[in-house]
Amino acid sequence: MIPYILQYLHSDVTPGEAGNVFWMVVYVLLTFAGVSIGVIFMNWFERKVMAHMQVRLGPMRVGPHGLLQPIADALKLIIKEDLTPASADKLVFWFAPVCVVMTAFCTFIVVPFGRTHAITDMNIGVVFMVGVSSLGVLGVIMAGWASNSQYPLLGSLRSGAQMVSYEIAMCMAVVSAVMMTSMSGEGTLSMIRIVEAQLHQHVWYAFEFFPVGLTALGVFSIAMIAETNRAPFDLPEAESELVAGFHTEYSGFRWSLFFLAEYAGMMAVSAVAVTLWLGGWLRPFPNWLGGARWDTVFSLAPGLTFLLLAALCVIYTVRMAALRVMRANAIGLAAFGAVLGLVGLVCLLPAVRVRVQDIYWFVVKVGFFMYLYVWYRSTFPRYRFDQLMKVGWKVLLPISIAVVVLTALVGVRDELFAMVWR
Amino acid sequence: MTPVATPFFFYLISGIAIVSALVMITKVNPVHSALALIVTLLASAGLYLMLYAPFMAGVQIVLYAGGILVMFLFVMMLVNIEHLYVEKKWNRQSLLALLGALSLSGLVITALVRGAHTLPQHTIALEESTNTQGIGRLLYSATEGYYVFAFEVASVLLLVAVVGAVVMAKRRV
């Protein structure tokens, strides 16, 4: 048993490729726990950022600067009564949130947080991600239909139409990135090999064939917002028109499952965008600031980030008003800062930092996309449904098809010139 | 690495597929039938995986479970369910059905008995890690088979279905 566990540590492949069941389970638990913590953090972060963009304070009461607000919310949701409408289709009503959460979390099986930091590497990685996340719409439709009520039904109809039509543009953009992998050797659909192809070609696919890759990323990053039903494309849950859309009849824990799935799905599509176009776990500026010395400098980044966060915590502890009611908050924030500082120091150790930097860069890039989600939500007004369909079918789809054709043409340009000038 | 394609998984996945197919044809509510059909399709994607054909499994999930069945459900949600409970579920063509079932099972049994001589004894073990690339080569490579034309001809069939649907929808306006 022990040798079986230790044997994996000497290999440099994912546990799925090594076929090591123990580490597979460990990685699954770690990934799912990480995603859940990410969702909890996003809940706080989104409310805080949106509040500051609208010149408010946001959650301030529970814990220092509202840091414990998501935990309080989760407790409230678990305690809240879980209603099932009398005329609902009980089985489908029960299964809908399960289906949504299952599909949202399943996609993380192939997400590569690093060369060895993925649960497994599949030959069909991208197809698997797109396919499984497209099954999420089934849960939304089931929820809307099983509620046996008008608003949820309309919400799920909208979401079905929206997700099906934006999926096409999204997949076309993915095809263009997959075609770029064949520029160095054999093309591939596997998430890890796509990042390795970017490493070998010394370019992130966002900057490959200059405007082409960037356009594909643009199309994808618009379509992925529609695919995850977020503002400005959040018509399935448009509050002013449909109360809460497809999850109007859900409450308590089952509603929180929809919430969890929405944010996990956002992270999953952001992870696809990062893997395909922004070099996955690769550090920024590999050509401009290349070489072993810069590698060392960039590998210090995770530790320094944690130390910076710890310093912020210390500053806010000092600045906190010296009142008796604030004492618990001040102690809590100081303790949080101490923990962050310890993590930062551990991340600076040479043995740790070479393993942690992959995960760090991947998470930072995904975090950037998550920030964009919040930014869009507080910036853009919601689309009307016909406008949404027009954007999907008449703008994004033609652009994405053109991107695929252009990628193919630019990819074989040498052969084309050879044919013309022969 | 130990193979996943053990008999246990084969019987498990096949069992799920058969049971959900039976559920699909016996349920009165069409939405329940469609959901059971999705389970059948996902189980057959699992069977493709057991044959070391991951690309087929992925396409099965994307196209059938994710695409076509979503459209099915989409239409069915708008159907008035009440009158379906009144309609007859089974038709009375038992003689014809018996004939069909007998001839089909006869065909399968003949294939199993006689096929030992004519069919190859073992299938070619396709490497799982090169499955997608293999399909690509069969489609586009001029040396290893050039099935792209046949593939496109088959897709014209789907185009015919689309045109037919548009024509039928237009007539009522």
Q: Same domain, yes or no, for B4 and B79?
A: yes
Domain membership of residue B95 (yes or no) is no
Last residue of a domain, one of B86, B121, B145: B86
Return the closest-CA partner of residue A175 out of A328, A391, A404, A366: A404
Tell me: the pLDDT tens digits for A50-94? Answer: 999 999 988 888 877 788 888 888 888 888 888 888 877 888 888
The complex's ipTM?
0.77
Domain membership of residue B104 (yes or no) is no
Query: In the numeric block, which tokens belong to residue A113?
Result: 């947080």
Rounded mean pLDDT, A282-295: 80
Instruction: Give the model's pLDDT for residue B20.
Output: 93
Closest Cα in chain B to A182: B133
Closest Cα in chain B to A128: B58
Q: What is the extent of the structural domain holding B134?
A: 129-173
Residue A18 with chain B: CB contacts under 8 Å: 1
Rounded mean pLDDT, A208-225: 88
DSSP state of A109: G
- Residue A230 one-letter amino acid: R
Closest Cα in chain B to A143: B77
Assess whether pLDDT exceeds 50 at residue A185. Answer: yes
DSSP state of A107: G
Q: Same domain, yes or no, for B74 and B134?
A: no
Q: Rounded distance, CA A318 to CA A306, Å?
A: 19
Last residue of a domain, one of B54, B86, B118: B86
Assess whether pLDDT exceeds 80 at residue A235. Answer: no
Angstrom distances, CA of residue A248 to CA of A36, A234, A239 = 23, 14, 10
Chain A interface residues facing chain B, Cβ-Cβ under 8 Å? 17-19, 89, 92, 122-124, 127-128, 130-132, 134-135, 137-138, 141-142, 144-145, 153, 156-157, 160-161, 163-164, 167, 186-189
Interface test with B, best of A120, A124, A153 (most B CBs within 10 A): A124
Instruction: Give the model's pLDDT for residue B1.
Output: 42
Instruction: Give the model's pLDDT for residue B21.
Output: 92
Q: Rounded distance, CA A197 to CA A178, Å?
A: 10
Domain membership of residue B124 (yes or no) is no
Tell me: the pLDDT tens digits for B99-132? Answer: 999 999 999 998 888 877 776 666 656 666 677 8
Last residue of a domain, one of B26, B56, B86: B86
Q: What's the number of CA atoms in the CB half-sphere (13 Å) around residue A146?
A: 20
Rounded mean pLDDT, A185-190: 80
Where chain B has pLDDT below 50, the residues are 1-2
Domain membership of residue B73 (yes or no) is yes
Which of A122, A135, A163 lies closest to B61 in CB terms? A135
Rounded mean pLDDT, A12-26: 79
Residue B39's Cβ-count burial label (10 Å; 0-12, 13-18, 19+) is middle
